[in-house]
Amino acid sequence: MAAYAVDDYGRDPHLVAALSPLARLRWNVHVTGMDNVPVSAALLVCNSRKFALGSVYAALGLTEATGRTIRFVGRPDTAPLGALMRRVGALLAHPADVLGALRDGELVLISAAGTRNGRQAGVVPYELIGQAVIADVPVLPVTTISSSFGRTAHVAVGTPVLARRERTGPLAHVELAEQVQHDLQRMLDRD
């Protein structure tokens, strides 16, 4: 890639490489469950403790562990923070952006609603889960556990979530989102 080049989503690998040592100063990320990550596209769904930046350290840890770029969802659409987040690989929380990345074979990480307790899975956004159904890609739960003051962070990738019923239409998205939340909670309770 040429100097100052960005990929199709605006991610600048040179900027990411420059910021990675700073991120490692904040988080020492340990990743498990790598054998569950497919070689093709997938939607990864992580729990989120408020103000913990779980999706950021999960994306960084998974990017290092897989050698593939993990697109994380949740960048603002305002300058200057939105532009900076785009340069490090963040996508808008719009269904069309998620669907486009999944159809391009990307690994996309979204977060459940933030909770005060890091061991509680929040509500999973069904409108974003629906994009995985449309793109026909697997959905994997990802737990993120970190210390508020220490550097230790753990990211665990679970097995693909299987829908309980064969359903089509908008209810399929809602049921899958609920199943992902349930699987996330089960993983958090087990850890």
pLDDT digits (tens, 9 = 90+) for 144-186: 999 888 899 999 999 999 876 676 777 889 999 999 999 999 9
The DSSP bridge pattern shows strands 70-73 and 139-146 to be unpaired
The SS3 call for residue 176 is: helix
Name the pTM for this structure.
0.93
pLDDT at 162: 82
The SS3 call for residue 14 is: helix
Q: What is the pLDDT of residues 16-39, one digit of tens each?
A: 989 989 988 999 999 999 999 999
The SS3 call for residue 31 is: strand
pLDDT at 189: 96
Q: What is the pLDDT of residues 92-103, one digit of tens each?
A: 999 999 999 999
